[in-house]
Amino acid sequence: METEIDFYELLEVERTADDKAIKAAYRRLAMRHHPDKNPGCGDSEAKFKAISVAYDCLKDPQKRATYDRYGHAAYAQAQQGGGGGGAGFSDIGDIFETIFGSAFGGGNGGGRARRGADLRYDMEISLEEAFHGKQTEIEIEVSQTCEPCSGSGAEPGTDRTRCPICGGHGKVRAQQGFFMVERPCPSCHGRGEVIEKPCRACRGEGRVDQAQKLEVNVPPGVETGTRIRLTGKGEAGPVGAAPGDLYIFIHVRRHSVYERDGTTLVTRVPITFTKAALGGTVGLPGLDDEWITVNIPAGIQSGEQLRKRGDGMPVLQGRGRGDLVIEVKVETPRKLSTKQKELLREFQQSETDAQCPESQGFFERIKAGFTGKR
């Protein structure tokens, strides 16, 4: 099982985004996560590398077209020079056959059957489940290998025979002007074999639709757009061909307390103006089921942020955790008692400009800028 993050999700753009929007998104994210701006932050470095790979693919029209059609598997295989397994092309003949049609296709004798189609399954999870990971079971309706004929498509007790038209080669040749054109055999459709007695259970297809239950391991640290691949769990191929893959797309629901930015958790905490002035503590429930105590320094201003190292989300397929960022919002009381008003007036009479330097500086700039204009 492999975990992948969609390139469009990485760059925070729609799949219909044009080249200009993709370039702008890459520049914005690259500036934010560049290692020079985040020295010593492994998460930022990993993010920077990931968005660079995504941009390298999507900025190139050919790479983008291949990625849109075949996903990570084809792109990764192309990067490796065609090596490796998974979905993709085994030789240049497959590429021409896919793009231009079977008249240009190469391949070996007998014409292997196409693998089954890849399938998509959308899974919604909570932020807590994204934090801890999740082992779950899903049920999908999918084409599977026919049991009575074991995927051959032939009635049990019978077998497929060599195609009499192509002699088992799967291809026939025809003269077109000065050229000799080779095409898949119209009788056996390139397989080199024909079925005299089709299986009654699958009608010669070698596969049937039925419900399938699968165990899915969602690793800690996944985010919206993360893609989990279950190799060989897609649609079964026709007449015994290899099955496709199942791709599970993760969607993380919004949380009532925390917002997420990669491995960083962000929350906005309102505090009273007395606590802002005198300092104190606030408590927050952590996603790891531990209570988080945040120290509020005296004199904090509304909008200032506090950071708790290592209290954020786990690093996907890595070690460690991101940070928790607490943005403070100072709340002014709306209804005061008579006693409270008296105390505040007494405080107001005793406070000095030096205690509120921002206010003092602002009004001094106004005074200096508008003197003599009236």
Which residues contribute to the annotated binding site for Zn(2+)?
Answer: 146, 149, 163, 166, 185, 188, 199, 202
Q: Are 326 and 281 in contact, with CB atoms under 8 Å apart? A: no
CB 321 within 8 A of CB 312: yes
Which amino acid is it at 94?
A: D
Spatial distance between the Cα atoms of 18 and 208, rounded to a whole number of angstroms? 41
CA distance 327 to 301: 10
Residues annotated within the binding site are 146, 149, 163, 166, 185, 188, 199, 202
CB atoms within 10 A of CB 285: 11
Amino acid (1-letter code) at residue 242: A
Angstrom distances, CA of residue 269 to CA of 158, 188, 281, 282, 284 = 73, 69, 11, 9, 9
Q: Are 42 and 263 in contact (CB under 8 A)?
A: no
Residue partners of 50: CB distance under 8 A and separation at least 6:
5, 10
Beta strand extents in 151-231 (DSSP E only): 161-162, 171-176, 179-184, 193-194, 207-218, 226-230
